[in-house]
Every structure is written in C-alpha cells, then in structure tokens.
Amino acid sequence: MVRLPQPDPAIEGSKMKGWKIVAVMALGCSGCLHSPPNYPGAGDNNIDPAEYASVACPDLSGRYEGRGELLDGDATAQGWAKTMRIDYVFPFASSAEAMKFMSAARSDAGDTSYPKYGEVTWIAERSFQVSVNYENGKSASRALLFEDKGRFVCTGSHGKIIWGGASKGGRSEFGPNTTDSMAMLYLDDQGNLISEASMQVHMSLRLGGIPTGTAKHFSKYRFKRLPE
C-alpha cells in the first residue's frame, strides 16, 4: 500500500518516467553515503509505530485542487514533477482500485484527464472517503483505510499520517538494489493538504554485494483548499 513518488503527466506514462527518475538519481549518486532505511518501523532513528498506536489521526476532510504545486524537492522533482495529481497522493489498497481511477481519468477519446478537484470526507477514526472529479466530467471514489497501526502512523489530531516500507529488491547493470520509501499527509496552517514523499535506492556491486551508495528522491506538494 506504499505510494512511490511519481512524476506528474499522464498516468500511462508515469510508470516509465518513474523508472527514468530512479536511473537519473543513480547516475548522479557517485560518492553518496549508504543510508539506513527511512520509513516507520525501520529502526535506527525512524518512528516506532508502537509508540503511536493510541494517538489520533488528523482530520483531512475538505475539498482540494486536483493539481498540487511543488514546494520543495530534489533536482529531479524540480525538473520533472513541478506539479502532482491529487489522485496519486493517497495509497491504493490494490491494483484494481488503482485501475478504477485510471479508467475515470481516461476520456472516451483515450486521452488522460487531469483531476479537477479531490474531496476527502471523514468516515471514522483512521477511515476516510476520497472522491476525485476529473476535467473530462468523470469521477471515482474509494475508502481510505489507515487502520493498520503497525503500518500507518498518526502523530496527533493536528499532526500527520505517515506510512512507508521496503521493496523486495531489484537489479541494475552494476548489481542488486533495494528501495525504501516513505509518504505523509497533513494540513498546513491554512488548511491546505500537504503531501510529502521520499525514496531511497540502495545500490550494491554485483560481486560481493558491497554497498556503493544511496540515491535519494524527495518532494513536497501543496493542494490548495477550495470552498465547499
């Protein structure tokens, strides 16, 4: 249920560009430190979910612009993803759930429409409903369940919802790689929805598995609150 950072254009092309981003980061990572995993429950100085099991989640209810603007990010985000779709910032429970939104974003002519706005509604503690309306006139909605307290960390009614995890690993021409990512949602002082995401690609040599460095990606977007 981890959301990986993705660039902003059409959904169909986003996966390929996401891989391009990783490749660009890897090429620019000569001399990087091999950082420890960075997500809740990963140990080290990361958040321990058990310490927040009884802490309330922030109420993210509201209507927000469908296009978020980049507030901060690495060189890759600055160049490739200066805006973000609101339907990308919430974790999907399954590929079928993601396809539901992809279908709604696609017009009858086959083009991909940008979200016009997204609306989040509080259902119960750690449960929300998100509805996204697209410029093509279509819409899609689903439940957002953050009930797994070992995976989703809430830091208070005025805090954040944080989640993340590690991949099963991958490979490059130089050797095996592992990836970990973290994402968070919260409201700023003006009630705008803020989405932050980070990803680390830990690289090793093919022979001996010697760590060669960690490529890092991070981004922060603001989705302005709209009058309801």
| pLDDT of 25 above 60 | no
In this model, does residue 12 exceed pLDDT 60?
Answer: no
pLDDT score, position 108: 84
Q: How confident is the model at residue 228 (pLDDT cuts 50, 70, 90)?
A: confident
Q: What is the pLDDT of residue 211?
A: 58
* Per-residue pLDDT at 137 exceeds 60: yes
List pLDDT tens digits, range 87-107: 999 999 899 999 999 999 998
Closest CA to 101 of 40, 209, 14, 216: 14
Q: What is the pLDDT of residues 152-210, one digit of tens each?
A: 999 999 999 999 988 766 655 555 677 788 999 999 999 999 999 998 876 665 555 56
Residue 18 predicted with pLDDT over 50: no
Distance CA 157, CA 52 (A): 12
Amino acid symbol at 184: M
Mean pLDDT is lowest, of 127-136, 160-169, 184-193, 211-220, for: 211-220
Q: Full-prediction pTM beyond 0.85?
A: no
pLDDT at 20: 40
CA atoms of 75 and 77, how far apart (whole Å) = 6
